[in-house]
Amino acid sequence: MKVLSRLGRLMRYTVAYAAITHCTFEYIGDFVLCKGPSMEPTLHSDNVLLTERLSKHWRTYQPGDIVIAISPINADQFICKRIVAVSGDQVLIQKPIPIEAEFSGSSDNKKKPVMVKDYVPRGYVWIEGDNKGNSSDSRYYGPIPVGLIRSRVLCRIWPISEATGL
């Protein structure tokens, strides 16, 4: 009987600690492993970041914030990007050069990027990687809904030699 009593107590503590841990990581903040080169030179692949989820309840996201968001093109993937513009801000978008212009004999259309001004809609943000040449971001898929943002990056904690607030 003593064994069952101890086992029951152990199970209660295990369930309680699991619930506390789950709530902490789901509602307060967590640790994120950054993968890929899109945020270089600010963040490098395999950096570990400390993030928080509480401030969205009393503070709006600001340009310059680094956030973890659900990818708008693959819901199973998280992305780490910097907010460049928020609702109502104007962005200048460089549209890709049309293929027919690239291969036509005309030199007028060759290599002239098309720049378009647009506004970020209400409830959306414009995100970009710091490594502009190697980042799929809002320049590719447009502004993302604020609801896709999972957390805001507070600091890099690994490698310890590069630990710093962001």
81 noted as active-site residue: yes
- Set 38, 135, 138, 151: catalytic member: 38
CA dist 34 and 135 (Å) reads 14
Per 3-state DSSP, what percentage of the chain is helix, strand, and coil (rounded to 5)? Answer: 30, 35, 35
- Set 2, 35, 71, 81: catalytic member: 81
DSSP codes joined into one string, 16-44: HHHHHHHHIIIIIEEEEEE-SSTTTTTS-
Tell which residue, 84, 17, 25, 92, has the closest CA to residue 52: 25
Q: Which helix (H) or strand (E) holds 31?
A: strand 29-34
The residues annotated as belonging to the active site are 38, 81
